[in-house]
A and B are shown apart, each in its own frame.
Chain A
Amino acid sequence: MNKFLPLLSVGIAFLSSCSTPPSPGSRPLKIAVNDIYCMDTACSCVHDVAARTYPQLLEKLKANYGIDLQLVYFSETYQLEDAIASGEYDGALCKPWYALRHQKEAGANFQRIVDVLDPNNNRWLTGIVVVPADSPIQTLEDLTGKHLYIGQADAYEKHQAAKRLLEQKGIRPGKVDTNASCGENVGVLLDEEADAAVLSDYALSADCAVDFARPEDFRILARTEQIPLTSLMLDMNKIEEAEADRLQRALLALSGKNAPETLLGNGFVEPAPWNPPELEAP
């Protein structure tokens, strides 16, 4: 009988580990990452501003708090979304909409535990409605009957938020088309194929468009509502509430003056409330 005891112990330990959700302290948490300002996911042409790296933070989390985050970087957001939808990740660090819009199919319950500050310590993202600098269009109201390009449904600030802005103002453009990238929306303005376009507000500073368009070439007519730029979200179907709290506290403690230099800004802040109406049950 004694010779089976070690085996029995291992079996009990294995079963008990299966019975409770894994926690940040018990195993590495696999996080899918796409961050506008992270060198591992941003285009190289903006690496002067998108120079954030996470290894230093991960080391401190592990050394000081026993929390092991395993980041998997996706430079292509379609791959990021597929990864999130697969349900194979414990969380995501990205524009929250990328994860929230897939949580149903992923069988996930994403909770934003921190917002990530950009290098200017800004937490918000907006869509900007722009026209060429020399356009006769002066106000948002002037877009009535005009040709407008917005983003596609995966880009909340350029699509849902832009549509809502127009709806709230009672503006009905003559034609609304979509492009998947800010660069293409910049292009239709440079090629004079449209009157106005909606871009992400970082498009002319932290996107490939910086290589062929200058901010002074465009005039901003309006901004959409503010939404969080980047959040760390955990799937609460896989993570215990207490452990999510522990990770949140650790990240907030590693922020401000304690933020690792490689984060570029002040690190993290508590998540701002954001409840996209598109996620509410009909």
Chain B
Amino acid sequence: MFRPNDARYTVVGLVEVLQVTLSFGFLSKEATPLFFSSGEYYNAFIITRFYPPHAHGDFTMKNTTLILCTTLLLPGAASLADYQVEAQIGKGQLGQISQIAIGADDTLCVLEKNGKVSIFNPDGSLASTIDTGLQNTDAIATAPSGKIHVFSTLTKTKKVKVGARMRTVHIPIGVECSVFDPSGKKLKTMKLDNLKSAKAARIVGDKLVVADLTARTLVLMDAETGEETGRIKKGLRLCCGIFDFCEAPDHTIAVSNLGAFRLQRFDLDGKLLLEFGKRGRGIDDFQGCCNPVSAAYLPDGRIVTVEKDPTRIKIYDANGKNAKQIKGVEELVKGCEFIPVATDSKGNIYLANTKGHIVKLVP
């Protein structure tokens, strides 16, 4: 097997940019085995001849020239992302997961519907748990200081007639937020009267941003006081009870506008900065009845998107193009279920499923 760093080979070739186009057809047949760098960010074709030391010039180009290609084109041709499943975290320790977030020192905070927060170390071991005393908790936000905000949607019950039967429904009426330090000590509780429900929350700069599904609005507030500073509502096509967003670079946010089959990035004034996606067959497109359900930014600016059923985890470039699918992730949910996602400072990706554990993907 040829390796470009094999000492028996001597690099005597040169860059032959123009030859690339002509060569591609025969490369796979005549110059195998090939070595393709997995690097994605090179801007030039580099074709280099490697001559074996014993050849002494009596070889023909056909049978001895080996060509190294390090090119931008190749990742485009291959639509698989360089990620793999490393571990399943929290198996047997978690119940109904509602949201996840990255906490201090790249710990993973997992919120369950019953108010329990489990904090996992980066190696997947359980560090601690917090019993928040809250119920109906769908949203968690972590601050750079390590503080953990947990949001509970308050409801009232009402009897409604559905067909011939009476059913009891829970109507969202408000949100309560409790703040904890990383050790689990409760620091304060806030009643957020301007919210009906909280499906997702993030602290972005000095703002607390909450996805209010009942109002179908992103509500922006001062992170310390809870005072409302703005709303983003226009163009949100939410369905299936799912409403998620993530923090994006430069104190912006990206909304998984699943009913519109788009990811949309806004600044905190509600100005649309970037949008991409449509329903379709292509790898850059989203599928299912409505997707993506969630997204997260990687440290290098690339964007992870999550589609539910059929489950597809993809990575787009920072412009929302050139998607590549991460292979090896089994179907995380069946039907219209939310899949929380988070990324840490090392580019690891965490996905929650309805089976009660976290899937960790590593680059």
Contact = CB atoms under 8 A, between A and B. Distances in A.
A269 B25 CA distance: 55
A253 interface: no
Nearest to A74: B310
Interface stretch (B57-65, B67-75, B195-203, B276-284): B276-284
A43 B290 contact: yes
Interface in A51-71: none
A43 B279 contact: no
Interface string B279-322: 11100010111100000000000000000011000000000000
Contact of A184 (B236, B279, B310, B336): B279
Contacts of B279: 179-181, 183-184
Interface in A63-88: 75-76, 78-79
Nearest to A78: B281
A207 B260 CA distance: 13
Contacts of B290: 43, 183, 208
B336 A187 contact: no
Contacts of B162: 48
B261 A75 contact: no
B335 A44 contact: yes
B278 A44 contact: no
A208 B240 CA distance: 8
A209 interface: yes
A45 B240 contact: yes
A226 B288 CA distance: 26
B321 to A, nearest CB: 19
A141 interface: no
A174 to B, nearest CB: 22
A211 B259 CA distance: 9
Per DSSP, are chain A's interface residues mostly helix, strand or loop, or mixed?
A: helix
Given A183-B260, A212-B238, A212-B259, A79 B310 contact: yes
Contacts of B238: 211-212
B241 interface: yes
Interface string B221-249: 00000000000000111111100000000
Contacts of A45: 239-241, 289, 336
Given A43-B290, A75-B309, A76-B310, A211 B240 contact: yes
A42 B235 CA distance: 24
B239 A208 contact: yes
B345 to A, nearest CB: 34
Contact of A191 (B235, B240, B310): B235
Contacts of B216: 212
A212 B287 contact: no
A180 B290 CA distance: 11
Contacts of B310: 75-76, 79
A186 to B, nearest CB: 8
Given A75-B289, A208-B290, A211-B239, A184 B261 contact: yes
Most buried by B among A48, A186, A209, A211: A211
Contacts of A190: 235, 237
Given A208-B259, A211-B259, A183 B336 contact: no
A43 B287 contact: no
A75 B289 CA distance: 8
Contact of B288 (A75, A187, A191, A210): A75
Nearest to B337: A44
Contacts of B241: 45
* Among all A-B residue pairs, the 9 with the closest Cβ atoms: A211-B239, A43-B289, A44-B336, A180-B279, A181-B279, A208-B239, A212-B237, A45-B240, A208-B290
Interface of A: 42-45, 48, 75-76, 78-79, 179-181, 183-184, 186-187, 190-191, 207-212
